[in-house]
Amino acid sequence: MLESIFNSTTTTDIVFTEALISIVVALVLGFIVSLFYYFGNKNKKVSPNIAITLVVLPAIVAMVIMLVGSNVARAFSMAGIFALIRFRSMPGDSKDITIVFFDSGIGLAAGLGYVWFAAIFTIIIGTVYFVLNILNYGQTREEIKVLRITIPENLDYSDVFDDLFEKYLDYHKIQRVKTTNLGSLFELSYNVRFKKDANEKSFIDDVRCRNGNLNIIIDSAVVNPEML
């Protein structure tokens, strides 16, 4: 069942029917992986570029594998493909890098003719990826946010907000103090986590009474736990 559909993996001849099957299977499986990616990250930021790439990448990898003849050539070609994918994906999320690498593996299996092998493991690994995303596996229950408060230069920032932090937050850590407006103002940056029953608007109103109604920014972007 898991045997290659190609009669021989060493010949340089390409049979059109077998090649067409591999390409079509690669496209179908790539589309399935793209669905796992889209619906698994639907409540988060989904890159349309990655979603499209996941559809066509397995077919491209399969085509490259079929065109090269020897196992040595296949090894070098795949090493180049994976290195290129890794380089292009480095600025992105590690989950994006993982699923693109997984997508390339599907193309490799399809290009070698192991279409059933590729299909079975697409469903298995794709389902695991989808379930872990839906369950938010590995994420903290409460989101760490970035709080930026602007205060006048004559205000001592070391303990001016301590009582408010104790009332509304269950975690806070100052990350940066920056002077602005020619030194007449300070911009304080904190990593904070609100208590479950805390009201952010009430917190902002109380802070405004302390900082003279200057800028207050709460960034909802999740902070990398390794930076805490």
> Per residue in 2-47, pLDDT tens?
556 665 544 455 678 888 898 999 999 999 999 998 888 766 667 7
φ and ψ of 172, to 5 deg? -155, 145
pLDDT for 89 equals 47
Which tokens sit at 37? Answer: 């990616």
Domain locations in the chain as residue ranges: 16-134, 145-227
Burial class (CB in 10 A: 0-12, 13-18, 19+), 72: exposed
Among the listed residues 86, 94, 127, 121, the one whose alpha carbon sits nearest the alpha carbon of residue 105: 121
Domain 145-227 carries which CATH code? 3.30.70
Is 126's pLDDT higher than 60? yes
The model's pLDDT over 78-105, given as tens digits with 9 standing for 90+, comes to 655 555 555 454 445 677 778 888 888 8
The model's pLDDT over 185-194, given as tens digits with 9 standing for 90+, comes to 999 999 998 9
pLDDT for 10 equals 47
Residue 21: partners with Cβ closer than 8 Å, 6 or more residues away: 5, 115
Average per-residue pLDDT in the chain? 80
Is 168's pLDDT higher than 60? yes
The model's pLDDT over 197-219, given as tens digits with 9 standing for 90+, comes to 889 999 999 999 999 899 999 98
∠ at Cα 17 (14, 19), nearest 5°? Answer: 50
